[in-house]
């Protein structure tokens, strides 16, 4: 069974993330969406809220499971038996960042691959940072997040 992890801070999980997860779910037998800590970023939603938003967004994707994890991604890969990490990339800046991350992870443990999926053009402007900015100015989140995630956020 081919297992992959789609890791991220997912603060919050956007429709851009969902597209990457759906494509990973077509390529792998099992996909773990892993909500993890990016030590460079200060969070807005707590882990339980991020998990709920990702779960609502991924509902109905049968081979997808949302988990939270601390520690290193390489250790999570080993623990779950994943052969690949899948990340979406929107532009050259993302590519540079993700290639460097892949090399660092490979330095620690070279037993899995990193697969980079280019974002669809129509979703490439979307980011969690953009969504947090919309929220700050109380603008609608429709088209940026899954409708069930928008509904959930409106009541927390």
Q: Which residues are catalytic?
A: 17, 41, 90, 128
31-39, 53-61, 109-117, 148-156 -> range binding ligand PNS (CB under 6 A): 31-39
Provide the total of helices (H) and of strands (E) in the chain, helices listed first.
Answer: 6, 5
21-29, 34-42, 46-54, 135-143 -> range binding ligand PNS (CB under 6 A): 34-42
Peptide bond into 23 cis (omega under 30): no
- Comparing CB distances to ligand PNS, the nearer of 25 and 36 is 36
Q: What is the pairing mode between strands 3-8 and 113-118?
A: unpaired
Q: How far is the CB of 14 from ligand PNS (least distance, A)?
A: 10
CA distance 147 to 124: 19
Residue among 41, 78, 103, 139 that touches ligand PNS (CB under 6 A) = 41
Q: How far is the CB of 69 from ligand PNS (least distance, A)?
A: 8
9 binds ligand PNS (CB under 6 A): yes
CA angle 118, 123, 127 (to 5 degrees): 95
Q: How far is the CB of 22 from ligand PNS (least distance, A)?
A: 17
Binding characters for ligand PNS, 64-83, by CB under 6 A (x = yes): --------xx----------
Closest listed residue to residue 7, CA positions, set 133, 114, 137? 114
38 binds ligand PNS (CB under 6 A): yes
DSSP code per residue over 16-54: HHHHHHHHHHHHSSEEEEEE---TT---SS-HHHHHHHH
The site for ligand PNS (CB under 6 A) is made up of: 7-9, 36-38, 41, 72-73, 104-105
């Amino acid at each position: 069974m081919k297992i992959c992890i789609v890791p991220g801070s997912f603060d919050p999980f956007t429709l851009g993330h969902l597209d990457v997860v759906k494509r990973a779910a077509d390529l792998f037998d099992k996909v773990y969406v892993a909500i993890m800590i990016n030590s460079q970023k200060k969070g807005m939603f707590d882990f339980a809220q991020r998990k709920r938003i990702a779960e609502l967004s991924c509902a109905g994707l049968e081979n997808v499971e949302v988990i939270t994890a601390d520690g290193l991604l390489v250790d999570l890969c080993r623990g779950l038996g994943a052969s690949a990490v899948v990340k979406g990339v929107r532009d050259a800046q993302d590519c540079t960042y993700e290639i460097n991350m892949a090399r660092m992870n490979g330095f620690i443990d070279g037993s899995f691959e990193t697969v980079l999926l280019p974002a669809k053009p129509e979703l490439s402007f979307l980011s969690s940072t953009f969504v947090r900015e919309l929220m700050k100015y109380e603008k609608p989140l429709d088209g940026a997040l899954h409708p069930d995630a928008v509904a959930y956020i409106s009541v927390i």
